[in-house]
Structure 1
Amino acid sequence: MSTTLAPGVLPGLAVACGAVFGGGLVAIGYGAVRRAAREERPGLRRALTARLPADWTARRVVIAVMTGVVTGALTTWPVAAVLTTVGMLTLPGLLGPDRQTARRTERMEALALWTEMLRDTLSAAAGLEQAVLATADIAPAALETELHALATAVRAGRPLPPALRAFADDVEDPLADVVVAALVMAAEQQASQLAPLLGELAESVREQVAMRQRIDAGRASVRTGVRVTVITTLGMAVGLVVFNRPYLDPLNTPTGQMVLAVVGVLFAVSFTYLTVIGRIEEPVRLVTASPGRVESGIEPGGAR
């Protein structure tokens, strides 16, 4: 007795089996990542992981992979599974609000406010260390965690210069490095006229914030155009799959899959280019804190 399978069933079964196998591997990897006491050795894998976007959490990756698997099983197109997975990982950041830029602007405003607070406190004849401790207790919300850690380190007896370097390393902002560099020089060399310098730095930071806000206003139209293009393209593709599937029958062949892959790559390159041209290049950081030296309270110049 022979059984004849309908066309497209075997590819669908193959995709489904591959989906189950891939889902199992992803589940195993996700469970390994969530181990609390896991120690990672520095190497190629860690370097590659560090280059991934910060919002690519393990949960998001699992959801993207499973959605791609379901898409591949329903369409019997392996390329569609890959494109769906990549789209689930990248499109939310492209279409959604630019939270990273908004957060950076908020932290820059908080940095300018804290710098002005330091200037005013120093003008009242307080020492630099006392000024840092006093302003950290009423820190702006965007830098509250970092300034609280700075005050805790100083109260624990750590010298002010390495504590400031650790603060700059926590903030990870080139403008914060400029402010910290001025504070470190004042702490190490007893520089005079620090309050006027801090006032000029605060004014410079506010000018940077205003410039970024103008740039963001110009980028808004570009992001809107990208959203319209992406939504229209995806809507047309989904509409063809759901309402006019015979029109897409040529994609069932290997040649059709190759064409679909080329189209997907072209769209990916276009969206990447639109993202790159709207990105602001950050200046090189001035202050870095070596983890080992920060822990031991040792500065690059020697023991303290």
Structure 2
Amino acid sequence: MNSLVGPGAWTGIAVLCGTVFGLGLVAIAYGAVRRARHEQRTGLWRALVARLPADWTTRRVVIAVMAGLVAGALTTWPVAAVLTTVAVLTLPGLLGPDREAARRTERMEALATWTEMLRDTLSAAAGLGQALLATADIAPAVLEPEMKELTAAVRAGHSLPAALRALAEQVDDPLADVVVAALVMAAEQQASHLAPLLGELAESVREQVAMRQRIDAGRASVRTGVRVTVIVTLGMTVGLVVFNRPYLDPFDTLTGQAVLALVGVLFTVSFAYLTAVGSIEEPVRLISPTAPRTTAGSAPGGSR
């Protein structure tokens, strides 16, 4: 078999794998020690890392690299090592359940429920501050951490607008910004008819939830089709490698590796397009994510 890697290179591959693994452990240890200082650094690398998906943890990256090295060693194909690394990093998020969308929908439903609680409490002639404290204790469990922070800030004497802006930052949702903006205006300007406005906002949030559920139902069929395609392709590839390795001998040449790379690029572009088509563009945030920290950190009694 005209292989790219001859029999005498297996020792070199083993040394390379051990070296990469050792360097990975050193990098992890160094990152743990220098983490505090690294978080204060700015530059191109930090901006690039910030753009990576949140589920690309260090552990997952290390596993992906090791899986790629193993695949490259078993097949003697450098392109297989690269494709395996990319697949381990991206396919779980593409083929698995969309947990982020489910979590977002659950938080939106909880936000609508809490808004309705505020509306009903304000209709009973309670003040805004009293209504916030009363509803924070019975708010949905999804919003429990944020409600505890809001209650602690109000009881500590922080101004109500500052506490509400901090709540918007913690919830981190454009729809929550709309509700908080209405509450901040009511707290600063003593706006009237707040209860009917909150009712309309709650209804709008529930309409958004219904829309997202319809979109998720439509995306489910697409994700199922992608799962079937990927599973069949991977199953056929593994079967050929294990049971009919001579059939794949043309990929041992440089031309074969170029064709394999082209096929991998086509698959990557197709999956990226499916992901982009199924994504939902988020509306613009009304409340700046950075402003609440300064305001909320002011002395009790209001901002300075």
- TM-score between the two structures when normalised by the length of structure 1: 0.91
Q: Which amino acid aligns with 1:265?
A: V
Does residue 142 in structure 1 map to residue 157 in structure 2? no
Does residue 28 in structure 1 map to residue 29 in structure 2? no
Q: 1 or 2 for the larger relative contact order (CA 8 Å, sep ≥6)?
A: 2
Q: 1:65 to 1:37 in 2, by over 3 A?
A: closer
2:36 is paired with a residue of what secondary structure? coil
Greater displacement, 99-108 / 255-264: 255-264
Which aligned pairs between 1:161-200 and structure 2 lie closer than 5 A? 161-200=161-200
Does residue 8 in structure 1 map to residue 6 in structure 2? yes
2: CA distance between counterparts of 1:297 and 1:207?
37
Structure 2: 5+ residue stretches without partners: none
Does residue 38 in structure 1 map to residue 36 in structure 2? yes
Structure 1: 5+ residue stretches without partners: 1-5
* Partner in structure 2 of residue 244 of structure 1: 244
Q: 1:7 to 1:103 in 2, by over 3 A?
A: closer
* Partner in structure 2 of residue 118 of structure 1: 118
Structure 2 contact 295–303 (Cα < 8 Å) conserved:
no
* Partner in structure 2 of residue 98 of structure 1: 98
Which aligned pairs between 1:1-304 and structure 2 lie closer than 5 A? 8-35=6-33, 38-39=36-37, 40=39, 41-290=41-290, 293-297=294-298, 303-304=303-304
- TM-score between the two structures when normalised by the length of structure 2: 0.91
Greater displacement, 28-37 / 233-242: 28-37
Q: CA deviation at 1:55?
A: 1.0
Percent identity of paired positions between Structure 1 and Structure 2: 72
1:34 is paired with a residue of what secondary structure? helix
Q: CA deviation at 1:19?
A: 2.3
Structure 2 contact 166–296 (Cα < 8 Å) conserved:
no
Q: CA deviation at 1:13?
A: 3.8
Q: Which amino acid aligns with 1:127?
A: G
Q: CA deviation at 1:37?
A: 6.1
Q: 1:296 to 1:92 in 2, by over 3 A?
A: same
Offset from partner CA, 1:215-269 (integer Å, 9 cap, x none): 1111111110000011111111111111111111122222222221111111100
Structure 1 contact 12–76 (Cα < 8 Å) conserved:
no
Q: How many pairs does the alignment contain? A: 296
Q: CA deviation at 1:123?
A: 1.2
1: CA distance between counterparts of 2:113 and 2:83?
45
Q: Which amino acid aligns with 1:33?
A: G
Q: Please, what is the CA RMSD of the aligned residues?
A: 2.0
Structure 1 contact 12–74 (Cα < 8 Å) conserved:
no
